[in-house]
Structure 1
Amino acid sequence: MDDTGHDVLAGVGPRLRDLRRRRGATLDQLAAETALTASTLSRLETGKLRPTLEQLLPLARAHGVPLDDLVQAPPTGDPRIHLRPVRHRGLVFVPLTRRGGGVQAFKVVYPPAAASPTTALQTHEGYEWFYVLDGRVRLVLDDTEHLLGPGEVVEFDTGTPHWIGSADDRPAETLALFSLQGEHAHLGRGATGAGHHG
């Protein structure tokens, strides 16, 4: 990882500690909310443990902050750090992984519902998991509809007819993991328990 990426992660610990203290929560209370141990939380806050996505997602949800705010990542689109956003079928995809194959990570921005280019259900090979960062997301799986808000998680087989878009007049943002090989993105109980599963 480059120095910028290391600096971003190095700053997470103090922010986690500050967020917990501002809420007046103990390590034990936060452990109960996130399904992470108090020891792990302490090591994350002191910088002795490097945070992973599986740890950061439930922490962002427990503290009520977007994941972007938690890590205070540099602005998207900076060519020295991030890959360039790509527009496809009316959506904006920001690739967060550089390697080919395996699980791919993207930040996806869906336009307001009225500006959505299509509501047709689609199918394709693979498996998808996403976390709602901002806005409200409408997910249609076969004949079932789910409305999701910030902090909620979904995982489903993309062979199931589906459609994803903003649920109202605001854009919606998600953090999405997608695998052509169909690997499931496994999270700890604290993160998946609040989500909807297809």
Structure 2
Amino acid sequence: MTQELDVDQIIRHRIRTLRQNRGWSLEALASKAQLSVSTLSRIETGSRRIALDQLVPLAKALETSLDELVATSEAEIIIRPEPITMPGITLWKLSTDDAVNGVNVSKMRIDPSKAPAPSELRIHPGKEWFTVLLGEIQLQLGERTYHVKAGQSAQFDTMTPHAMWAKNGVAEILGIMDSAGQRAHEHDKDR
């Protein structure tokens, strides 16, 4: 029963906050959702139970989906990444598959004693960004080579032939790829 009340409170708070963020009065939202002002007021204050037939028009009026209006899953908040290991590389995926705009956030640890520098440059659709947390990364983009050290970042279009590896010892990076870049990397990993 307590968990049900908590969910109700979350939904009530979400309705009130979305309404207020749009600068709407109770009257404005009630009109858009085809509810009476008193019904909407009692929903927001907790004096009335929320019914599904009220949530659907409220979600539509608030320009959101019913799923987003009632979402309460803790799984969407806390991510417990499992390490993915390949020769010389350990990867932790820090975002979910439905992350904002399809981006993928991951942490990567590269040990050059166990992973030699790539022998060829890769090219695929997408954009990539990374920041070096530890050590130094050597990034080759076409004919140019860059040394990206701890505290520095790099971003590039992955249609430019590229490769990166740890230089002078173990390196760790935090990287972000758009959905096109992520699909290409997953395809390469499966080979």
Tell me the TM-score normalised to structure 2 length.
0.48
Which has the bigger relative contact order, CA under 8 A and spacing at least 6?
A: 1
Bigger helix fraction: 2
